[in-house]
Amino acid sequence: MRTRTVRSVRAAGLALALVCGGTACSVIPTGASRAVTVDDVGREDPLDPPYARVIAMPPNPDWRPEQVVMGFQAAMASVDDPSYAVARQYLTGAYAKEWNPDSGVTVYQPSTTGDDGGDDVDDGDTEARITLKGTVVATIKDRGLYRPSDGPLDEPFTLVKEEGKGWRISAGPDGLLLSEPDVKRAYRLVDLYFLDSRREGLVIEQVQVPLNPASTFAKAVVERLLEGPSASLQGAVRTAFADGTRLIDVTTVDNRVVVNLTKGVSSDNVAAMSAQLAGTLSGIAGGSSFEVRIHGEPYYSSDRPLGIDAQQQLKFDPWMAPGNIRPFYLQDGLLRQLGKDNVGVAVPGEAGGKNGSFTHPAVSGHNLRQVAALSENRDGISVAPLLPDGKWTQWVTGKDLTPPSWDRYHSMWTVSRPSPQTSVVLRHYYDEAKHEVKQFRVAAAELNTVDVTALKVARDGVHVAVATRNAQGDEEVKIGTVIGAGADSRIDNLQTVVHPEDKRTITDIAWKDGKTLYVLTGKSELLEASLTAAPASQVAYPRLQSITALDDYLLAGAKDDEDNQQVLYWNATAAKWEPWIRDESGAVAFTAGGPSFPVFPLG
């Protein structure tokens, strides 16, 4: 048996056809030098938005080994062949039985260099080896969990020549290998809405949902919602749907989106279920209202058929659209809140009228408004209610504490670092019945042996971000989840979003919303990071100190070369940072003892 090695092959689109779904016509590259235009066969369904389809083409007996590998790549990307029947035709019988396309997706960028090595295979060869070269950029696992990755793609394929069939793949990767354009054609990134552990708020999980021409996309999304959260949110979120609930169909009737289920929910779960459905489907159905039916029959709630407003999720959880919330900031050691004409107003109580020599304020949520602030030497955190008689009370003492962070349940978080490379995550709340502050240590195995320099809980109460520094001085940022309450709290599922090998110094972190985190580096570089995308650099500003964000509002505390201070806001229209806080004369200049450490509630 003669074996030859084909040096490498760059991923290419041989033997594939692209067809636009929806209402557009399409162009079909066939591997030849021409393109074929065909009529579109889309259903024009508003719940099934247009998309490009990849139609798999079977292998040709005359193809060379590298052409077979490229054809297999194209067949793996076929939306119109969800069972991968055509892709299996590229494999030997034994390998076709072993290959598991459901084991996960490796997303890659093809190499831009290399030789396809076609001349290395002679007519008498019966075995060949080809290596697919490129860069791994992401993975998709656990029912659509998309996670950025970074590393070389060096994937070997073994091919054998079969009588009457030509070259077939006898060994290769398990799972799917898809290029970034393949993923954009075959998947859609969607927001699934789940409930926090107390069923008081909503938590978004972003997943990739594969397209299937045999079903509407809306149906595929609701089916994925009913499956529940991925492993990264297990134990941290809940769902309002009853166990065993299945989806019959998602249709439109009289400009309403009708969700037909097999089971209803208890009366105390109606509002939560409505919010989950409205939030999850709002990105697909636009401004349509919703209706729930059970086995095709109207589902009654409060003696009337259950209708769901198009923005029901915003009514259920006010932090989904917090509206016009004015930020706070420090000036001359006092807490102020932005008032009319961007002039600050002192808050009531000692926080606004007594200099406590504090830094890094954090303000709690809607109902119980209070401020926590870090002492200048970082050995204590004090809390003051924002009331006329509100007084500072020390809640925490410790060594080298991180700035405080409130969660939506009125718990205040910090991290104590009693010795180098030792971190203790602490959670505090005020027990009204006993008139005392309760402190709990939060289990966080991955954080015990590093220096945690910052911790921020997202407004959904579930996601948490931490900045850490290892023994070598390398810093990184991770996003994880909070599971449990009180003494049973733990931080789990941590995933790096800013890597230590990037050699960045982390100055501050701030949640934009429940999905996106801003990271400020020591060079005043601003990064936008999330679990589903590599960090993207934003325009920065010299000598930024701290950041805070709330949806589209982004503020930063900054100093000039003479250490004068001012609060800046990011003007997205002009794409630049601009001074924001005015004094009583209307000036916005940097001043000594000027505005610093801006913060939004739960920011």
In this predicted model, what pLDDT tens digit does every residue of 123-171 receive, in sequence order? 788 999 999 999 999 999 988 999 999 899 999 999 999 999 999 999 9
Same domain, 308 and 345: no
- The one-letter amino acid at 164: G
- Contact (CB, 8 A) for 599 and 511: no
Nearest to 31 by CA among 63, 65, 76: 63
- What is the domain range of residue 37? 3-180
Same domain, 400 and 540: yes
Quote the strand ranges of 314-459, DSSP E: 328-331, 334-338, 344-346, 358-363, 370-375, 380-385, 393-397, 405-406, 412-419, 422-431, 436-442, 451-457
Same domain, 170 and 88: yes
CA atoms within 13 A on the CB side of 443: 10
Query: Residue 300's pLDDT is what?
Result: 86
The DSSP secondary-structure symbol of 425 reads E
The CA radius of gyration of the chain, in Å to the nearest whole number, is: 28
Among residues 146, 180, 214, the one where a domain terminates is 180
Q: What's 451's domain CATH number?
A: 2.120.10.30
Task: Label residue 532 by pLDDT band (50, 70, 90).
Answer: very high
- Contact (CB, 8 A) for 352 and 336: yes
Q: Tens of pLDDT along 205-221?
A: 999 999 888 889 999 99
In this structure, are strands 127-141 and 3-10 parallel, antiparallel, or unpaired?
Answer: parallel
SS3 255: coil
Nearest to 521 by CA among 479, 562, 475: 475
Phi then psi for residue 389, to 5 deg, are -100, 15
Among residues 282, 316, 350, the one where a domain terminates is 316
Q: Tens of pLDDT along 225-265?
A: 999 999 999 999 999 999 999 999 999 988 889 999 999 99
Q: Which residues contact 468 (CB under 8 A, 6 or more apart)?
A: 423, 447, 450, 451, 452, 453, 475, 476, 477, 478
Task: Label residue 586 by pLDDT band (50, 70, 90).
Answer: confident
Same domain, 166 and 224: no
Query: Residue 27's pLDDT is what?
Result: 31
Same domain, 68 and 148: yes
Q: Tens of pLDDT along 351-395?
A: 998 766 899 999 999 777 899 999 999 999 999 999 999 999 999
- Contact (CB, 8 A) for 131 and 158: no
Among residues 287, 316, 345, the one where a domain terminates is 316
- Contact (CB, 8 A) for 165 and 61: yes
Q: What is the DSSP string of 502-523?
A: G-PPEEEEEESSSS-EEEEETT
- Contact (CB, 8 A) for 565 and 571: no
pLDDT at 2 over 70: no
Alpha helices in 317-433 (DSSP H): 350-353
Percent of all residues in the chain with a pLDDT value above 90, rounded to a whole number:
72
Query: Residue 123's pLDDT is what?
Result: 74
Same domain, 283 and 360: no
Nearest to 420 by CA among 473, 466, 456: 473
Query: Residue 113's pLDDT is what?
Result: 56
Q: Tens of pLDDT along 469-499?
A: 999 999 999 999 999 988 899 999 999 999 9
Query: Residue 159's pLDDT is what?
Result: 97
pLDDT at 118 over 70: no
Task: Label residue 409 by pLDDT band (50, 70, 90).
Answer: very high
Same domain, 151 and 198: no
Quote the strand ranges of 71-222, DSSP E: 105-110, 127-141, 145-162, 166-171, 176-179, 187-196, 202-210
Task: State which H helix or E strand residue 71 sits in.
Answer: helix 65-76
Measured distance CA(498)–CA(475) in Å, rounded: 8
Same domain, 52 and 195: no
- The one-letter amino acid at 129: R
Same domain, 265 and 330: no
SS3 272: helix
- Tokens found for residue 72: 């297999």
pTM: 0.90
Q: Which residues of 355-394 are buried (b: 16+ CB within 10 A; e: fewer)?
A: ebebbbbbbbbeeebbbbbbbeebebbbbbbbeeebebee
The overall average pLDDT reported for the chain is 88
Structurally, the chain folds into a number of domains equal to 3
CA 346 to chain centre: 36
Q: How many residues does the chain have?
A: 603
Same domain, 129 and 239: no
Q: What is the DSSP string of 298-309?
A: EPEETTEE-EE-
Query: Residue 30's pLDDT is what?
Result: 37
Phi then psi for residue 295, to 5 deg, are 50, 40
Same domain, 483 and 538: yes
Same domain, 374 and 304: no
Other Cβ atoms closer than 10 A to 152: 11
